[in-house]
């Protein structure tokens, strides 16, 4: 790694660092810190608060993994990445995992050699428009100017949607959310498009959020989830099952409030297996028995994390929708712990 820093002036060298390092778990343990790639700032998902502490829905996944692996939810080095730099950062080993509302797609999984460990938010691309524009459907947007935050799958979905509906538009691709937001508010574009969750988060920061509406159309499937490099299955298992532990915890009713009580032992063998009082699941992962207990205790179960960061009680105000447990009609379905 040292050598790479030394020669870092060359762009190509950026990709050279330690891509071959297979044992991510050992690296993380030796370092004592988890390097987690997040956005450069999207309120509710990953953004530093007034004390410089990173908070948010994606951040909680990083913290849960750090708690499981290192026993300390604060032992995370958050690396802000842009849409452009995130994959290079992950491929080069600069970060151990990426939790940055990244859509799970075929080419990213297969061609770019990443492993998506699951989905922590089922999203879709939507449109945000001012109320006084008087548009009720995205299909009425013929001829409109559309601001796009680049660096996502957004541009492609947008082109497909307008082509499929045989209507025209003018794209204005803007690199950062902040700039795009400013363009939208100044009226330089009629509508703003990105993932619906991102739109809700952006709208929450507006002076008058009530003056803007989300169009009913969701024009794409955007399963967002954390990802790691191909080739280190031990590490991808850890991240995958940490995420699954958070989801299962909600399903099974383990919360940050009752976790101490439950870890004394319950009648439900699956809860016992997750919390490490029964079986040897932690050992199989290369961790200790209480890994999942710490992960859940770090920020609560999936439902608690959701409610605290982006749920309906927060300014972002997202409903659970597709992100409810399968038992409640949503898509969240964790494989069993046994």
Partner 1 sequence: MTTFTDPPSESFRLSMLLNDTRYRSYTFQFIALLILIVMMAYLGMNLVRNLAAAGLNISYEFLDQPAGYDINQSLIDYNSQSTHMTAAVVGIINTLLVAFLACLTATLIGVVAGVLRLSKNWLVSKLMAAYVEAFRNVPVLIWIIIIFTVVTAVLPGARAYLGEDPEYDLFLGMMAFTNRGVYIPALIWGPGSGVVAAVFVASIFGVFAYRRYARNLLFETGRLLPMGWPSLAILIVPSLLVFFVMGQPITMDMPDPLANRFNLRGGLQIGAPLIALWLALSIYTGAFIAENVRAGIQAISKGQTEAAASLGLRPNRIMNLVVLPQALRVIIPPLISQYLNITKNSSLAIAVGYADVTATLGGITLNQTGRAIECVLLLMLFYLVISLSISSIMNVYNKSVSLKER
Contact residues for partner 1, defined by CB under 8 A: 7, 10-13, 15-20, 83-84, 87-88, 91, 107-108, 111-113, 141-145, 147, 150-153, 155-156, 158-160, 162-163, 169-175, 179, 182-183, 186-190, 229-231
Q: What's the closest the beta carbon of residue 156 comes to partner 1, in angstroms? A: 4
Residue 74 or 182 having the CB closest to partner 1: 182
Residue 169 or 337 having the CB closest to partner 1: 169
Residue 118 or 151 having the CB closest to partner 1: 151
Residue 156 or 331 having the CB closest to partner 1: 156
Q: What's the closest the beta carbon of residue 256 comes to partner 1, in angstroms? A: 37
Q: What's the closest the beta carbon of residue 20 comes to partner 1, in angstroms? A: 4
In the chain, beta strands by DSSP E? 34-38, 47-48, 54-55, 76-80, 97-98, 114-116, 121-123, 125-130, 144-149, 169-174, 191-195, 212-214, 222-224, 227-229
Give the helix, strand, coil percentages of the chain, each rounded to 5: 40, 15, 40
d(CA 59, CA 97): 11
Residue 176 or 314 having the CB closest to partner 1: 176
d(CA 180, CA 174): 5
**With 0-12 CB in 10 A as exposed, 13-18 as middle and 19+ as buried, what is 168?**
exposed
Q: What's the closest the beta carbon of residue 169 comes to partner 1, in angstroms? A: 7
d(CA 213, CA 131): 6
Q: What's the closest the beta carbon of residue 117 comes to partner 1, in angstroms? A: 18
Kindly write down the DSSP assignment for every residue of 120-161, as one continuous string: SEEE-EEEEEEGGG---SGGG-TTEEEEEESSSSHHHHHHHH
Q: What's the closest the beta carbon of residue 123 comes to partner 1, in angstroms? A: 18
Q: What's the closest the beta carbon of residue 248 comes to partner 1, in angstroms? A: 32
Residue 83 or 223 having the CB closest to partner 1: 83
Q: What's the closest the beta carbon of residue 28 comes to partner 1, in angstroms? A: 18
d(CA 60, CA 143): 41
Residue 112 or 289 having the CB closest to partner 1: 112
Which uninterrupted H or E stretch holds 197? helix 196-204
Q: Contact, 185 vs 192, CB < 8 A?
A: no
Q: Which two tokens stand for residue 154?
A: 């957004």
Q: What's the closest the beta carbon of residue 134 comes to partner 1, in angstroms? A: 8
Residue 111 or 207 having the CB closest to partner 1: 111
Helix (H, G, I), strand (E, B) or coil at 201: helix
Residue 159 or 257 having the CB closest to partner 1: 159
Q: Which two tokens stand for residue 128?
A: 């945000």
Q: Across the chain, how many H-helices and E-strands are there?
A: 14, 14
d(CA 192, CA 149): 8
């Amino acid at each position: 790694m040292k050598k790479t820093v030394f020669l870092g002036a060359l762009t190509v060298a950026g990709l050279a660092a330690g891509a071959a390092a297979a044992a991510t778990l050992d690296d993380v343990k030796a370092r004592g810190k988890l390097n987690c790639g997040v956005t450069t700032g999207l309120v509710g998902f990953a953004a530093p608060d007034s004390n410089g502490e990173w908070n948010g829905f994606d951040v909680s996944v990083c913290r849960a993994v750090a708690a499981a692996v290192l026993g300390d939810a604060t032992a995370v080095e958050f690396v802000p990445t842009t849409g452009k730099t995130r994959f290079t950062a992950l491929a080069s080993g600069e970060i151990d995992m990426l939790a940055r509302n990244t859509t799970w797609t075929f080419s990213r999984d297969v061609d770019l050699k990443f492993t998506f460990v699951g989905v922590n938010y089922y999203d879709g691309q939507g449109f945000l428009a001012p109320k006084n524009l008087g548009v009720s459907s995205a299909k009425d947007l013929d001829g409109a100017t559309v601001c796009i935050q680049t660096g996502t799958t957004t541009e492609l979905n947008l082109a497909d949607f307008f082509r499929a509906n045989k209507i025209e538009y003018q794209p204005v691709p803007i690199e950062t959310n902040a700039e795009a937001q400013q363009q939208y508010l100044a009226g330089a574009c009629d509508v703003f498009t990105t993932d619906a969750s991102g739109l809700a988060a952006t709208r929450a920061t507006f002076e008058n959020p009530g003056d803007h509406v989300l169009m009913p159309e969701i024009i794409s499937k955007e399963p967002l989830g954390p990802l790691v490099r191909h080739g280190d299955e031990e590490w991808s298992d850890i991240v995958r099952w940490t995420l699954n532990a958070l989801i299962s915890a909600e399903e099974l009713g383990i919360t940050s409030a009752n976790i101490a009580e439950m870890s004394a032992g319950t009648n439900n063998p699956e809860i016992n297996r997750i919390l490490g009082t029964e079986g040897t699941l932690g050992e199989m992962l290369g961790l200790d028995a209480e890994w999942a207990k710490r992960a859940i205790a770090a920020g609560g179960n999936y439902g608690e994390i959701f409610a605290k960061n982006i749920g309906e009680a927060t300014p972002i105000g997202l409903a659970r929708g597709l992100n409810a447990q399968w038992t409640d009609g949503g898509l969240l379905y964790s494989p069993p712990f046994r």
